[in-house]
Chains A and B, each alone.
Chain A
């Protein structure tokens, strides 16, 4: 799931300030399950903004998925987007980008800082598990991703800052190389870690090439 965190109200206020009619657009998939941009959160933000901007028309609507064209092209959604000056998207950053691609005359701004893709480690707590690097190596690291979960993305860790199983950058964060070592140890395969993981091909990731997958 894609995990995001709502921006501070101050920042959102600045983004929507120039517009009179604001449509808060929620998303029923990751944003709802991850509790950042579903109906409840849209309603809450509309009240907060309504308190600040008494003269603006603020409404909200939730679509099934903002990452898919068909849900944004729905007639009722189309009408609302066209009737408002600004779409304040509550989805991950795919949402506002899809809105402006489909409706070139529209303005769409993000209410969220899209953080990572990850999973719920316990109820309501989400952790990153994938950095979308485009060159997966977790077969060599016992199923745990050091690119996403090591502060330095070390492919041959751990660095000298691993302490009591935690990371020197953030003592609340697990040192993924400790976890990798623990798994290797449990499986009796510590010497597998002697192999050097070679330099990575980042060109499949966020470094210039087109990221497009065709499922046709």
Chain B
């Protein structure tokens, strides 16, 4: 059992996230990891996030695990076909990765290589089912594996994207496919998140999957505005943006807001933890737990 699974079985769990850089330098990766190490059960490592080409998620995971902390390997469907995905998943397991997050990935057109051919051979739900099969000892077409994986399988969910009514149903599909934990998109509107959780509970999913609510501390009003307008599927209440805008110390207010949100989601039935996506502001994470 992975450390992350064990932590989730024990109680409220905190995970973090770091993004590799473009290049071979691992310095910032290690620095960010060390900044959050004592506060999280696992570190999620993004896979060419926002479709910008960077150091690979698998290599970054290995670098991070050397620092004594477990990772969650993100694997998108954007850049690999089913052969490459399974091959990398076998390799990652053999090298000590124990958690994987299956996601479709940001579209290549939105990244720094918009001319690239997207792969999307399989989608994230099919990827989850494929990993479950590998955990059972078989590849996608039923060939037996010499040495199987035993991944703790994660997925993403965006409670705030459209169509809202479909969102819990889609999580149900992921759970049916084999997802064991879920990281949600950043929560800025706890009421709307609770509305989604109601649907999730109505489908009994809170009993079947560990739910980690996404938390992003806002560094500035500029960042809040950027996220509200440019990041798909982010719902940010106007009052929240105004509150940060009017603040004399926007960073401090950002931390306050994040702490309040953590308090609110903690009280929502069915939420098992939080997933902190600090997007470059990892050193602030300790102050979220003061």
Contact = CB atoms under 8 A, between A and B. Distances in A.
Contact of A155 (B106, B123, B156, B176): B123
Given A160-B158, A169-B110, A196-B125, A152 B166 contact: no
Contacts of B121: 199-200, 202
Contact of B107 (A152, A194, A198, A200): A152
A181 B166 contact: yes
A18 to B, nearest CB: 27
Interface in B68-82: 77-78, 82
Nearest to B159: A160
A193 to B, nearest CB: 7
Contacts of A69: none
Nearest to B82: A199
Contacts of A200: 121-122
Given A158-B161, A193-B169, A196-B177, A169 B109 contact: yes
A156 B126 contact: yes
Contacts of B177: 196
B173 interface: yes
Interface string A31-49: 0000000000000000000
A152 B161 contact: no
Contacts of B125: 155-156, 196
Nearest to B162: A162
A152 B78 contact: yes
Contacts of B172: 194
Contacts of B118: 152
A164 interface: yes
A198 B156 CA distance: 19
A177 B169 CA distance: 13
B100 interface: no
B232 interface: yes
Contacts of B185: 160
B169 A194 contact: yes
Contacts of A199: 82, 121-122, 126, 130, 140
A190 interface: yes
B82 A168 contact: no
A157 interface: yes
Interface string A198-211: 11101000000000
Nearest to A170: B109
Contacts of A178: 162-163
A194 B140 CA distance: 21
Interface in A136-172: 151-165, 168-169
Contacts of B161: 158-163
A62 interface: no
Contact of B126 (A152, A196, A202): A196
A175 interface: yes
Contacts of B169: 190-191, 193-194
B226 to A, nearest CB: 15
B129 interface: yes
Contact of B173 (A169, A177, A190, A196): A196
Contact of A160 (B109, B123, B233): B233
Contacts of A185: 165
A159 B106 CA distance: 9
Interface string B139-167: 01000000000000000111001110110
B65 interface: no
Given A181-B163, A194-B176, A196-B176, A160 B107 contact: no
Given A152-B118, A159-B104, A168-B107, A198 B158 contact: no
B120 interface: yes
B274 to A, nearest CB: 18
Contacts of A182: 163
Interface of B: 77-78, 82, 104-107, 109-110, 118, 120-126, 129-130, 140, 156-158, 161-163, 165-166, 169-170, 172-173, 176-177, 185, 232-233
For the complex of A and B, 9 pairs with smallest distance between CB atoms: A160-B158, A168-B232, A161-B232, A156-B125, A160-B233, A160-B161, A154-B123, A169-B107, A162-B162
Interface of A: 151-165, 168-169, 175, 177-178, 181-182, 185, 190-191, 193-194, 196-200, 202
13 contacts: A151-B109, A153-B123, A155-B123, A156-B124, A157-B123, A159-B158, A160-B161, A162-B232, A168-B107, A168-B110, A181-B165, A194-B172, A194-B176
